[in-house]
Structure 1
Amino acid sequence: MPAAVPESPVSRHWTVGLHLVLTFVTGLVDAVSFLALGQVFVANMTGNITFLGLSLHPDAHIQPVTPLGALGGFVVGALVAGQAASRLDRTPRWWLPTAFGVESAVIGLVAALTATGVLPVGDEAEVTIIVLAVALGVQNGTVHHLGVHNLTTTVLTLSLAGFVTDSSSRRRAAWPQRRLGSIATMLAGAAAGALLLRVSVSLVLAVAAACTLIVAACFALALGGRAARARVPDSHG
């Protein structure tokens, strides 16, 4: 029997909002990886699988090690997220803040290390790519386990197809605002990342880390408040 999907500790509107923040983070980080780390994605694995196939053509000028590194890092991050979810979802006060806190810490660490030149950017940035892919794997694995309908923070192809198909049919579109919100937020994140890259890679990653930390803090505060209310003795007892 499949495990029950854990309930979000915040309201439905807050849950949607926090997912959109994570979608914005996806746009930011993928802007860095594609524009500054050698035309690869660290969050959108569909593109990497396509790049891996295209690398067989000599005119593609794609080294297979780059998308393979991103895929490997993403898988590791998703596995970590799955293990954390299975072990900690019975104590959700720790699960969601821990997962997104770890993601924020990893992205922030990469921001610091690229700023100081410890981690490279450019065409020989495989280590940087792998580490960022691990962080986004954690994000996607956690979001998948939380299981909010029509919100994935990464895959927008089905969101766009579903919105257009449902809008052109007699069937009422399911959560069209979520689909449109995801598309608009991803676009905004990628655009912001592209603009901030004119300043530095580290700045974009620092903004992404800060946004993810806000998500972790919101879940932690909500769960902490719920726990505090549960400890308040009944005044009528």
Structure 2
Amino acid sequence: MPVPSPLGSRQTVAAMLVLTAVTGLVDAVSYLRLGHVFVANMTGNVVFLGFSITPGSGLSAIASAIAIGGFVVGAFAGGRLAHTLAEVGPRRWLGIAFTGEAIILGLVALLTGTGVLPFGGGAGYATIAVLGAALGVQNSTVRHLGARDLTTTVLTLTLTGLTADSALAGGPGAQPHRRLGSIAAMLAGAAAGAGILRWSPTAVIALAAVVVAVVAGAFATAGAPSTAASR
């Protein structure tokens, strides 16, 4: 059962769109610097895992499997946290969950910046696993929050709903602002990540950590819960 957000409807939507941009930022680093693998988009990794069977594909089955494994561990941790703390208080739960994600991303930025965690070679698998865990926490938390049309990662259903539910398709023609916002946020995050990546991949991860920390602070200091965001 979705947990009501402690923020108002507009603030919750804004927070989810910011987290969607974070997905674009981090996946830009993983795909462009860690060997064509995603740490948030698990559908892509499953497909890559299948493609990697073909010799000369240039894709690493190990990298995809590690990303999926890290993501699953993070999603499990996020789920346990949600079931433990969500009923006690959404503010506390969301604050802790997103603070945890921000700390993980911040540690990755610190360790990659100092060379402890590399972006290349076999040791880069550790970076993939940790980033996957961070985004697993995010996705699990957002799933339990249940903000409609705002998954922060999967845009396939968003695009399907945007077109299939439109008036032209004979649908109800509901306002598409959230869906369009999700697409724009992902695109902006990916573009910004790719651009900053030319200067420093560590800077992209550090930016993602700061942004998630801001979202965590917004939820942790929110007022009384409101059901408007989950309607």
Per the normalisation by structure 2, the TM-score is 0.93
Task: Judge conservation of contact 2:73–2:133 (CA < 8 Å) in 1.
Answer: yes
* Greater relative contact order structure (CA < 8 Å, 6+ sep): 2
* Aligned-partner Cα distance in 1 for 2:171–2:91: 39
1:6 offset after TM fit, Å?
1.2
1:13-24 alignment to 2 at 5 Å? 13-24=10-21
Which residue is 2:97 aligned to?
Answer: 99
Per the normalisation by structure 1, the TM-score is 0.91
1:70 offset after TM fit, Å?
0.2
Which residue is 1:131 aligned to?
Answer: 130
Q: List runs of 5+ in structure 1 lacking aligned partners.
A: 228-237
| 1:214 matched to 2:214 | yes
Task: Judge conservation of contact 1:150–1:175 (CA < 8 Å) in 2.
Answer: no
Amino acid in the other structure paired with 1:111:
A
* Aligned-partner Cα distance in 1 for 2:71–2:189: 20
* Aligned-partner Cα distance in 1 for 2:24–2:134: 14
- Please report the RMSD computed on the Cα atoms of aligned residues, expressed in angstroms: 1.2
After superposition, what is the alpha-carbon deviation per residue over 1:36-90, rounded to whole angstroms, capped at 9, x for unaligned?
1111000000100000000110021222110000000000000001100000012
* Identity percentage of aligned residues: 55
* Aligned-partner Cα distance in 1 for 2:190–2:7: 27
Which residue is 1:230 aligned to?
Answer: none
Amino acid in the other structure paired with 1:177:
H
SS of equivalent residue, structure 1 residue 182? helix
How many residues are matched?
222
Amino acid in the other structure paired with 1:209:
A
Amino acid in the other structure paired with 2:153:
T
Which residue is 2:5 aligned to?
Answer: 8
Amino acid in the other structure paired with 1:131:
V
Q: List runs of 5+ in structure 2 lacking aligned partners.
A: 226-231
Q: Which runs of 4+ in 1 moved over 6 A?
A: none
Task: Judge conservation of contact 2:91–2:221 (CA < 8 Å) in 1.
Answer: no
Which residue is 1:122 aligned to?
Answer: 120
* Aligned-partner Cα distance in 2 for 1:130–1:113: 14
* Aligned-partner Cα distance in 2 for 1:174–1:133: 34
After superposition, what is the alpha-carbon deviation per residue over 1:92-150, rounded to whole angstroms, capped at 9, x for unaligned?
23100000000000001000100000001024310000000000000000000111111
1:86-235 alignment to 2 at 5 Å? 86-91=83-88, 92-124=90-122, 125-167=124-166, 168-223=168-223, 226=224
Which moved further from structure 2: 55-64 or 25-34? 55-64
The structure that has the greater radius of gyration is 1
Amino acid in the other structure paired with 2:196:
L
* Aligned-partner Cα distance in 1 for 2:115–2:36: 20
